[in-house]
Structure 1
């Protein structure tokens, strides 16, 4: 019989949480690559692609943030890696929101701040995914 009264932090994310977390990375990366293409070619459609990809990344990141918050609330471990993971997701989502607002501007006004924000948000999403997915020990080990 196992004691479930003191449930540890769920170290291994559930399948949906992992998909949402890992799915944000290519969407933000696609937004960055679209921004780079827009910076090089001046074709406005690349800016539109970046806006939509960033919006998709925001959706995935926001849902992963919700899962991380629920996991943290349900766990007994309220410090350390789970909190860092939650804060990384929160900062990624917050800067992604600022990036979305930046991409809502008209044409060339997106540059260079949109490109810089896309680089930062992409790097943060990679670090968040790495932090959330690398601690794959389950059970009592922390």
Structure 2
């Protein structure tokens, strides 16, 4: 279940970043709207992944606690910056540049790091 939840933030935040690039080059307001909705979706998926990571952090043993803590902190920072990005996108469309582009870039990079950490620790447990 955690792998499914972790699959949402990166592509949604990446789509928001690409929409911000499209808005910057064309100033068509619809790209701004796409970005706002993609960020909202990334926050929902990232929030559930962060909740799952918190449970994993609480339940993990001492040997795996450092990795789980780093993973949770990356997800938390990604979510908080995504929330700030959503608040920036709540302003008037012409007032969001270049701040929205910078926030979308950092949020996308953090989502990629979180996915990298989360999926590198994922192990398939198949019955032999």
State if a TM-score over 0.5 links the two structures: yes
How is 1:4-83 mapped onto 2 (pairs within 5 angstroms)?
A: 16-77=1-62, 79-83=65-69
Distance 2:114 2:88 in 1: 22
The answer to which structure has the higher helix fraction is 2
Distance 2:87 2:122 in 1: 35
Q: Which has the larger radius of gyration?
A: 1
Number of aligned positions between the proteins:
124
Displacement of 1:48 in angstroms is 0.5
Aligned to 1:133: 119
Structure 1 position 117 matched with structure 2 position 117: no
The runs of 5 or more residues in structure 1 that have no matched partner are: 1-15
The runs of 5 or more residues in structure 2 that have no matched partner are: none
TM-score, reference length from structure 1: 0.83
Segments of 4+ in structure 1 off by > 4 A? none
| Two-structure CA RMSD over aligned residues (Å) | 1.4
Distance 1:26 1:84 in 2: 21
TM-score, reference length from structure 2: 0.92
